Homo-oligomer: A and B are copies of this chain.
Amino acid sequence: MIAQISPKAQKVIDDLAKFVEEECIPSEQRYEQELGQGAQRWAREPPVVDELREKAKRLNLWNLFLPKEYSQGAGFTNYEYAHMCEIMGRSINLAPTATNCNAPDTGNMEVLAKYGSDFQKQKWLAPLLQGKIRSAFAMTEPEVPSSNATNINCRLTRTQGGYLVNGKKHWISNAGHPKLEIFITMVRSGKSSLEIMNSPIKTGEFSIHNQHSVVVIPAKAPGVTVVRPLTVFGYDDAPHGHCEIIFDNVFIPSENMVLGEGRGFEIIQGRLGPGRLHHSMRALGVSERALEIMVERAINREILGSSLADRGVVLNWIAQCRIKLDAGRLLVLNASHAVDLRGASKSKKEIAMSKIFVPNAALEIIDRAIQLYGAHGVCQDTPLAGMYAMIRTLRIADGPDEVHAEQLGRNEVKLTKRRIANKSRL
């Protein structure tokens, strides 16, 4: 609607829609049952996942995310991939994983494909692309506002034959996964915040933007401790989870350094923009699914002899949901196309607008669906409460709404100042 979709992409979109509708959604209940209770939840991925993964591979619905610049890339535009992501979002617990398009593995694979050495690609990218192992992205730290990567404090120090890592990370998704092999980790390899603050020179070698590095830490390396899974509302999100991690004098060999010392910020920058967009895309699919089952409820629920779908209040809710959802989709598609046209760094405004609008719209939609379902809406009888919890984190992750909004506001102020200056120059 905003841009072109190639016939190849359209076929994937159509196949994916069918796969999600006919395979993933009907498997959701089985997934929950196979997950089970207690420690078992973390011990193995429910078998249904691997079955779906095999089916997806056979249908060529696999690794859809990598841009064509990489030899292994499916080669879809962000605009095309946005459509796929939305469809995956309709079965958020199964479809992204089934197609090997789940965060944070996608972002990690992008990092390795773009910046990794041949050694790194062979050792970790290959099995990741085959879906044989899992990876975590260890950036966020409990003590600092980690939406700004320059705050990261986890310390990297050189030692013979490599490095030692010391620090604490939290909200590390996939960290509980039985197949986890590596942490792609953001570390401080240069000066400390304090040293930088006290340094008279803040550019060149002393720039706050070259004090960090990205390294690969093997999950089983001595000194790596998964302290605990963090819950989201009451969900543990096993088997992948979101965990607190301690790196205590963890040794890694030199070849685990990605791109080079001090280049962490550069690597991370490229990862975050589109990542935020992918989250918004999936959130649209979650919303669409929530609206769908909300309307079904309205149709099927009768009170005093008339269906809820005949009531003005309910029809107004449905309309408000549809408007928010479609407005959100247009913002996301527009941002995706902007990234295709001029890259993520020049599409910050569009990405930020999607990042703020879509999760808030999604929460409103899901909340209305919950209200319509009543007691069934908050418990395991519907996927709604789980959706709510998951989407709620999007208003916080990768920078809270308010930080992005302030940035957006500053951008408007800057543009207006420029306009005023131009005018007065005439």
Point out residues on A near B: beta carbons under 8 Å.
1-2, 37-39, 140, 142, 145, 170-171, 230-236, 242, 291-292, 295-296, 298-299, 303, 309, 311-320, 322-323, 326-328, 330-331, 334, 337, 352-353, 356-357, 370-371, 374-381, 385-386, 388-389, 392-393, 395-397, 400-402, 404-410, 412-413, 416-417, 420
Residue of B nearest to A417 (CB): B299
Least distance between A373 CB and chain B CB atoms (Å): 9
Least distance between A357 CB and chain B CB atoms (Å): 5
Q: What separation, in Å, do the CA atoms of A317 and B406 have in the docked complex?
A: 9
Q: What separation, in Å, do the CA atoms of A150 and B376 have in the docked complex?
A: 20
CB-contact partner of A37 in B38, B378, B420, under 8 A: B38
Least distance between A188 CB and chain B CB atoms (Å): 18
Contact yes or no, B410 A315, CB < 8 A:
yes
Set of chain B residues within 8 Å of A171, measured between Cβ atoms: 375
Q: A230-B381, A312-B402, A316-B409 are in contact. List 6 more A-B contacts (CB 8 A).
A: A171-B375, A231-B234, A232-B378, A233-B378, A233-B385, A377-B396
Set of chain B residues within 8 Å of A318, measured between Cβ atoms: 408-409, 412-413
Contact yes or no, A396 B374, CB < 8 A:
yes
Least distance between A262 CB and chain B CB atoms (Å): 23
Least distance between A151 CB and chain B CB atoms (Å): 9
Contact yes or no, A312 B309, CB < 8 A:
no
Q: What separation, in Å, do the CA atoms of A2 and B231 have in the docked complex?
A: 41
On whether A298 and B413 interact (CB within 8 A), knowing A231-B234, A315-B406, A378-B396, the answer reads yes
Least distance between A290 CB and chain B CB atoms (Å): 13
Q: Which of A296, A375, A401, A405 has the most CB of B within 10 A?
A: A375
Q: What separation, in Å, do the CA atoms of A231 and B334 have in the docked complex?
A: 38
Set of chain B residues within 8 Å of A380, measured between Cβ atoms: 230-231
Set of chain B residues within 8 Å of A337, measured between Cβ atoms: 1
